[in-house]
Amino acid sequence: MASRESIGRKRVEETLRTVTERTAGVTGGDFFHALLLHLSEALKVSYALISECTDDTRTEVRTLAFWTHDRFVENVTYSLAGTPCEHVIAGDVCYHPVDVQNLFPMDTGLIRLHIAGYLGVPLYDTTGAVLGHLAVMDEKPMPYTPQDVAILNIFATRASAEMLRKRSEMALHQEIAERRRTEEALRKALDEVEVLKNRL
């Protein structure tokens, strides 16, 4: 009979293979949607979200995708103060299998959604700085195993990679746009010089 450890390892490996296959060739918002959909299936939770910090103060995040029960909802920006997400953005894995509302009574979102269990992990860039976080929640208790946390970390690694890819792409577009503006300004300056020369 297979040991519990080998069964758990097999589940993690299968999840890694599945998420890689199902998100291959998908980028941007579609990637984050696909990732959360498969994460909610893998961990059997009602809620899952991916966020990014709005600035370097890391006091506020905006969601890049937010899965609720059977659909995605509009992205939101929210303050981290008094939430379990605050601890995650500080760089900690935050896991509360039950009674998370009682532990964070100022978090009105947990109360409104009737959340009982919470698990969140940070998303890191290549230097180890926190980019945002990945979290799952449910109305029922979430008695997770180390394998479940490993699965969440697999998804977090993929989410971080896509977030960094998006940022690199945006930086490249901005660089190209700035170069074009500089070239256009140079052309105009040269045209003005030619006009002045012709007047002399």
pLDDT value at residue 136: 96
Residue 171 in any domain: the answer is: no
Range of the domain at 16: 4-163
CATH number of the domain that residue 64 is part of: 3.30.450.40
Task: Summarize the confidence of residues 27-33 as an average pLDDT.
Answer: 85
Residue 77 in any domain: the answer is: yes
Instruction: Please tell me which residue, 100 or 178, carries the higher pLDDT value.
Output: 100
Asked whether residue 108 carries a pLDDT value surpassing 80, the answer given is yes
Residue 146: pLDDT band by 50, 70, 90 thresholds? Answer: confident
Give alpha helix (H) positions in the chain. Answer: 4-23, 28-43, 84-89, 100-103, 108-112, 146-199
Residue 177 in any domain: the answer is: no
Asked whether residue 91 carries a pLDDT value surpassing 50, the answer given is yes
**Contact predicate 115/101, CB 8 Å:** yes
Residue 50 in any domain: the answer is: yes
Mean pLDDT score across all residues of the chain: 86
Domain tally, the chain = 1
Q: In 3-state terms, what secondary structure has residue 128?
A: coil
Residue 100 in any domain: the answer is: yes
Residue 67 in any domain: the answer is: yes
Residue 181 in any domain: the answer is: no
Residue 90 in any domain: the answer is: yes
Instruction: Name the nearest CA neighbour of 49 among 31, 30, 36, 37.
Output: 36
Q: What whole-number distance in Å separates Cα of residue 109 and Cα of residue 89?
A: 17
Q: What whole-number distance in Å separates Cα of residue 51 and Cα of residue 74?
A: 13
Asked whether residue 52 carries a pLDDT value surpassing 60, the answer given is yes
pLDDT value at residue 1: 45
pLDDT value at residue 15: 75
Of 38-42, 56-60, 94-98, 109-113, the poorest mean pLDDT is in: 38-42
Instruction: Please tell me which residue, 41 or 88, carries the higher pLDDT value.
Output: 88
How crowded is the C-beta side of 136, counted as CA atoms within 13 Å? 27
